[in-house]
Amino acid sequence: MARTAGFTIGALVGLACLASAVEAADLKPRTAQAYEKHSEQAVREFAARAQKLARESRRCDGVMTARAASGDGILNVPDGLIHNWMATAFVRGATLRQVADVARDYPSYSKVYENVKSAKVLSQQGDTYRVLLRLEEGGLGVEAVLDVRSTVEYRTLGDGAISALSKSDEIRQVNHAGRPNESLRPAGRDSGYLWRAHTLTLFTQHPDGVSVVMETLGLSRGYPPMTGFWLEPIARRLGRKSAEGSLNEFLTAVRRSAGLPPSKSSCN
C-alpha cells in the first residue's frame, strides 16, 4: 500500500524493539550486504508469489493470517536479523482506484496508522514519491522513535494490477522526540531497532473487490546475548500480529473512504 513506504515499516519497528538491547549498536558492512542480497531476491520473486496469494485472498473480506515470507519470518545474518513477513487481504466492493488513492495519501497516514506520528511527501515525480515518516513503536518496555525517509515507486502491470515498492533511503533514531533538545542519531549508529526496510505491495482488481498482498522486510541488530531462545518466539508472534494489524488499519481507511460497511466475515 502506500503505506507501502511506512505502514509495515511501523510493524517492523515494533518487532525490532524486541530484538534490540538499549545500548548502542553499529551497522556493519557485512550485515548490510547480507540484507541487500536477501532483499534483492525478495524483490525479484515478489510478483509471482503475490499473484498466487491474490487469488487466495478472495476467500474472505478482510485480513488473512500473516505468514513468514522466508524461513520462520526471522533470519539470522552476521551481526543482525532480517524480519520478513507476508500479509494478504481482500476488500469486497472496493475498486482499484479507491485503494490506490488511500495508499498514496501520505499526509493522512497519521490518521490511519497508530504508529505514524507525522508524514509528508518530500518530492514526487510521476509515480515515484520520496516520503518522510516519523514512527513511534515499542515492545517489552523498549520504545523507539524513528525518522524514515523512503522512496516509493508505483507501477501498473500488464494485467492492470498496481505494484508498489518502498525502500528506505535513510533511517535515523530520534533522541528526546518532541522536546527542545531533540536530535537525530547517525544512521546505522544507534540502538539497532531498524537499519533497513522494504515494503512490497500488489493491488489487484477482481470483479467483486480488490486484493492486497504485502511483503515486509526489515533489518535490525541481533538478539542480546543469552536472550534469543525466549525473545525469538515473542518476536515472531509480534511480527505476524503487527503485519496483520497494519493491514487492518489500511483496510479500515479504504472502507471509510469508499463508503463501505465494516467487514463481517472471518478470515482465519
Report how many helices (DSSP H) and strands (DSSP E) the chain contains, helices first. 5, 13
In this prediction, residue 268 carries a pLDDT of 62
**How many Å apart are CA 93 and CA 250, to the nearest integer?**
15
Contact between 26 and 207 under an 8 Å Cβ cutoff? The reply is: no
* Domain assignment of residue 67, yes or no: yes
Task: Give the three-state DSSP class for 231.
Answer: helix
User: In which band, very low, low, confident or very high, does the pLDDT at 172 lie, cut at 50, 70 and 90?
Assistant: very high
Average pLDDT, the chain: 84
Whole-prediction pTM: 0.88
Which residues pair with residue 184 across a beta bridge?
Answer: 174
Give yes or no for residue 262 having a pLDDT over 90: no
* Domain assignment of residue 238, yes or no: yes
**How many Å apart are CA 123 and CA 110, to the nearest integer?**
18
Q: Which position has the higher pLDDT, 32 or 4?
A: 32
**How many Å apart are CA 179 and CA 181, to the nearest integer?**
5
* Grid cell locating 159: 494485467
Q: What pLDDT, in 10s, does the model give residues 23-36? A: 677 999 999 999 99
Reference 74, options 115, 131, 11, 15; nearest CA is 15
Domain range for residue 148? 7-258
In this prediction, residue 5 carries a pLDDT of 34
* Domain assignment of residue 266, yes or no: no
Rounded to an integer, the average pLDDT of 250-259 is: 94
* Domain assignment of residue 267, yes or no: no
In this prediction, residue 201 carries a pLDDT of 95
Give yes or no for residue 249 having a pLDDT over 80: yes
Q: Which position has the higher pLDDT, 239 or 35?
A: 35
Q: Is 251 exposed, middle or buried (0-12, 13-18, 19+ CB in 10 A)?
A: buried
Contact between 37 and 209 under an 8 Å Cβ cutoff? The reply is: no
* Domain assignment of residue 247, yes or no: yes
**How many Å apart are CA 202 and CA 48, to the nearest integer?**
10
* Domain assignment of residue 265, yes or no: no
Q: Number of folded domains in the chain?
A: 1
Alpha helix stretches (DSSP H) within the chain: 7-18, 29-56, 96-104, 109-112, 228-258
Give yes or no for residue 181 having a pLDDT over 90: yes
* Domain assignment of residue 268, yes or no: no
CATH number at residue 120: 3.30.530.20
Handedness of CA 243, 246, 249, 254 (dihedral sign): negative
| CB-based contacts of 99, cutoff 8 Å, min separation 6 | 1, 91, 203, 210, 212, 254
* Domain assignment of residue 264, yes or no: no
* Grid cell locating 97: 482506484
Q: What pLDDT, in 10s, does the model give residues 69-120? A: 888 888 999 999 998 999 999 999 999 999 999 999 999 999 999 889 999 9
